[in-house]
Structure 1
Amino acid sequence: MTPAGIWIALVVYGIAGLAVAFWARRQLAGGAEDFYLGGRRITGLVSAASYAATTYSAFMMLGLAGLTYRGGVGALGFELVYFAGLGLVLIFGPRFWLVGRRFGFVTPSEMLGARYGSPLLAGLVAVLSCVFLVPYSAVQLMGIGLLLSGVSGGAIPVGVGILVGAVLAAAWTLLAGLRSVAWTDAAQSVLILGSALLALWFVVDAIGGVPVFLARVEAEYGAWLHQPGPGLFSLPTFIGLTLPWLFFSISNPQVSQRLFTTRDLGAMRTMILGFLGFGLVFTLISILWGYSALLLVPDLANPDLATPALLATGAIPVWLAIPLLLGIVAAAITTIDSIALTLASMVGRDVYRASVKSASDAAELAVGKVVILVLIAAAALFASLQLNLISLLSVASSSALLVTVPAIVGAFFWRRGTAAGALSSVAGGALAVVALGAAGLNPLGIPYAVVGFALSIALFVGVSLATTPPADRGKAFIDDVRPQLDRLRAS
């Protein structure tokens, strides 16, 4: 691929995305709920495609492929744990949707604040989400920069690729909010899955076909087919990496906020089933992609460069390499704009509007749009550091968000939970994760993510038992929801 050809493709892609965003803008009815949640009227198929595109970012074809290149089959188990965690959506999805409709919640942090009677809790979760998800957004931008630089032979600097991703993500998010994000996501998910599947066929064919591919992997990289593989996936490491993934669907607000957006529970069911199908296929593609890179471009110093290196081998024809390149760029951008949109809603509603009681809906939206620009700019600056191993950075960001899980579970299943318990759980767990992670400490060999999560559980339970629960707060989330769920199941 020539630099000129890459730039032409990026321009066409950008124009097409802007056209979709402007079309989505025409559907805006106004107000924060419409901008951030699409008026709670997103259909099942669009939700499924958007949910998949939001979740499966640069992490897959860059990060998961790189993790396979570095650690072998453990990467498959690592990703399949996320599938197991999606079962949580079956439990919590209808509950989020029901209380969201009843009380008009726009953000998961707003929901927690209302459940425990603590605006401070809502603000704390909003601020911590911003702190922890900026690095995760930066990972996506870094992936774009590395990809464009790698396939262009360095003609497109990493910094320029980061800037391209940041500008497109900001533009699509600001134009029409969730409608823009969801509809561009839907189109881009089809692009990435189709091009990746076809590209894998060409790569395996270049190796000699499926039998040769399998024989060579077994003969040359047999250790990569077993646990712990070449050394990365020891049991403690595997647990530390997968625990955040298990709870990803409820701990990461850019994902759990989507549970407020579907027009009905039937659409939510379609979203989950569609996501499962997409995710299974895309996971297998990414794992096989990593093994293909081991065979065609061995001994890479940076595993995250496995995909750019494969694209540079010539095994994939240019007419397919361009769509695949755009698909990977699209996967990263969809995650960035979803995160920016969610964080903007959290800051605008749970920090600004909670502090300025007289603030209007328009003022909340204005603050949110400024936050979108600031967060994407911060992510771009962080991405310029070009830290290695995209997959590990992604998990490190999610590790800190695990500390919100006890309060979320307690909101729907433990009437005794209190605001003090939730506050201490989130604050104490987050401090532990940051301190241990920054120092590189795993006490007694236990991964710091596990330690922080265990501490957050202990604090939530212990402090809640020692304090008085808010009067009647649990009723709306526990007692009132159960008969509604029973009626929905019956129908």
Structure 2
Amino acid sequence: MTESMIWMAIAIYLSVSVMIAFLSRQKGVESMSGFFLGNRQMNGFVSALSYSATTYSAFMMVGLAGLTYAGGVGALGFEIIYFAGVSLVAIFGPRFWAVGRAFGFVTPSEMLGFRYHSKAVALSMSIASCIFLIPYCAVQLAGVGYLLEGMTNGAIGFTSGVLLATAIAILFAYVAGIRSVMWTDSLQALVMIVASTLVALLVIQALGGFGELFDTLAREHPDALTVPGSGLFSLTTFLGLSIPWFFFSLSNPQVSQRLFMPASLSAMRQMLIGFMVFGFVYTLVSILWGFSALTAFPGLERADLATPTLLGSDFIPPLLGVIVMVGILAAAVSTIDSIMLTLASMLSRDVYAHVKSDVSEKRQLLVGKFVVPVIALLALGFAELQLDLIAVLSVAASSGLVAVVPAIVGAFFWQRGTAFGALLSILGTSAFVLTMYATGNALWGLPAGIWGIAVATLLFIGGSLLTTPHAPSRVAFLDAVNDVLAKRR
């Protein structure tokens, strides 16, 4: 696979994607709802593919494969925990959708601010999301950098890959907001799942088939088929990685914001079913990639180089390898776009508009668009640090974001929840998790991933019991949910 072939593939991908992005434009994009939510008119098929491409980004094909390479079969259990957590969408999805329609919410933080009748709650969630999601955005950029560097043996450097992904992400975000991202995602997700599955089958066949692959693993890398195996997946580490991941669909605003977007509850159900099918296949493929790379290329300098090394090897036809590379690049860009747009909408809607009173929607949108490249550049700087395993960094971000989970659950299911409880939970848990990571990520032998949700829950309940809830906003909020759920029955 030559460097010129890779650049040509990227050029073709860009040309097709930009065309799709421009075709996705529609009237109403110059409003907050239009630019950031696609006017709440996304159908189930597009939503499913976009949700998949956004969630299963560089983390999966680079990060999860690398985690499998380093830690063995424990990576599968870790990802299955996330998969189980997607069931939360079935519970909270219709409720998000209902209040989004009733009150015109654009961001999850705006929703919590209304429910608890507190601008401070909305603002604190927005700031916390920026603190933890910019590093997660950087993870996606780093994934592209490792991918291009590994596949070209350094001809395309890490920094060049990061810069390329940043530029593409900004371009797509500006064309038509979330609509361009979702429509380009649809094409990318289809290419990604087909090509990556073919690659997995070809590599396994080249290694002698499934039986020979696992016989080789059992003989030469027995730790890869046991837990804790090499020691990476001790029970404590496994729980520390898995617990935050279980709450991913609620805690990560770039994901929960998409619950406002489907055109109907039927479209939301299609989105969830489609995502589950896609995710199951993609999870198995990523794990098989990691095992195949461990069998074929033991002793790699970095586990995150497992996928790039595999794609650049003689096991895979160059054309197919470059198609998969483009698919992974596209998925990473999709996640970066979603994070940038979500954070931009939160900063303009829940920070700027609260600090500056009586801000028009047009002004909010202008500020949101201005913030997009700023977020991208911050993520780029963080990516250049090249810190740790991609999968571990991804979970570190989710460990902090669990700070908002009790407030979200309480918004719908605990009428006693208050603004003080939500604020104390978000700020206190964020500070706690940051302190944990700054001081070695171990308190009484347990990591922040285990402590985070417990601390957040205790702070939310304790703070709420000390104060009085705001009844009018709570009643209006829950009435909107009940009206929609009653119509479904």
TM-score (norm 2): 0.98
Q: CA contact under 8 A between 2:29 and 2:177: conserved in structure 1?
A: no
Q: CA contact under 8 A between 1:252 and 1:398: conserved in structure 2?
A: yes
| Counterpart Cα distance in 1 of 2:468 and 2:258 | 32
Structure 1 residue 185, shift from structure 2 partner: 0.7
Structure 1 residue 357, shift from structure 2 partner: 2.1
Structure 1 residue 212, shift from structure 2 partner: 1.4
Q: CA contact under 8 A between 1:177 and 1:341: conserved in structure 2?
A: yes
| Counterpart Cα distance in 2 of 1:443 and 1:239 | 14
Q: CA contact under 8 A between 1:45 and 1:270: conserved in structure 2?
A: yes
| Amino acid in the other structure paired with 2:150 | G
Listed one character per residue, the Cα deviations across residues 222-255 of structure 1 (whole Å, up to 9, x for unaligned) are 2211111111011111111011110000110000
Structure 1, unmatched stretches of 5+, are none
Q: CA contact under 8 A between 2:29 and 2:38: conserved in structure 1?
A: no
Structure 1 residue 211, shift from structure 2 partner: 2.2
| Counterpart Cα distance in 2 of 1:138 and 1:338 | 13
Structure 1 residue 27, shift from structure 2 partner: 4.7
Q: How does 1:6-405 map to 2 (within 5 A)?
A: 6-405=6-405
Listed one character per residue, the Cα deviations across residues 331-354 of structure 1 (whole Å, up to 9, x for unaligned) are 111100010011111011001112
Structure 1 residue 83, shift from structure 2 partner: 1.1
Structure 1 residue 482, shift from structure 2 partner: 2.8
| Counterpart Cα distance in 2 of 1:448 and 1:398 | 10
Q: 1:377–1:471: structure 2 CA closer, same or farther, 3 Å change rule? A: same
Q: CA contact under 8 A between 1:52 and 1:278: conserved in structure 2?
A: yes
RMSD: 1.1
| Counterpart Cα distance in 2 of 1:442 and 1:358 | 45
Structure 1 residue 17, shift from structure 2 partner: 1.2
Listed one character per residue, the Cα deviations across residues 234-289 of structure 1 (whole Å, up to 9, x for unaligned) are 11111110111100001100000000000000000000000000000000000010
Structure 1 residue 128, shift from structure 2 partner: 1.1
Listed one character per residue, the Cα deviations across residues 405-450 of structure 1 (whole Å, up to 9, x for unaligned) are 0100000011111111110110001100000111113211122222
Structure 1 residue 28, shift from structure 2 partner: 4.5
Q: CA contact under 8 A between 1:74 and 1:228: conserved in structure 2?
A: yes
Structure 1 residue 205, shift from structure 2 partner: 1.4
State the identity %. Answer: 52
**Count of residues paired in the alignment:** 489
Structure 1 residue 479, shift from structure 2 partner: 4.5
Moved more, 158-167 or 350-359: 350-359
| Amino acid in the other structure paired with 1:208 | G
Partner of 2:482: 482
| Counterpart Cα distance in 1 of 2:295 and 2:481 | 53
| Counterpart Cα distance in 2 of 1:208 and 1:396 | 37
| Counterpart Cα distance in 1 of 2:320 and 2:389 | 26
Structure 1 residue 176, shift from structure 2 partner: 0.3
| Amino acid in the other structure paired with 2:39 | G
Q: CA contact under 8 A between 1:50 and 1:186: conserved in structure 2?
A: yes
| Amino acid in the other structure paired with 1:399 | S
| Counterpart Cα distance in 2 of 1:471 and 1:487 | 24
| Amino acid in the other structure paired with 1:353 | A
Q: CA contact under 8 A between 1:28 and 1:176: conserved in structure 2?
A: no
Moved more, 11-20 or 109-118: 11-20
Moved more, 16-25 or 58-67: 16-25
Listed one character per residue, the Cα deviations across residues 24-68 of structure 1 (whole Å, up to 9, x for unaligned) are 224544311111000000000000000001100101110000000
| Amino acid in the other structure paired with 1:289 | W
Partner of 2:409: 409
Q: CA contact under 8 A between 1:300 and 1:306: conserved in structure 2?
A: yes
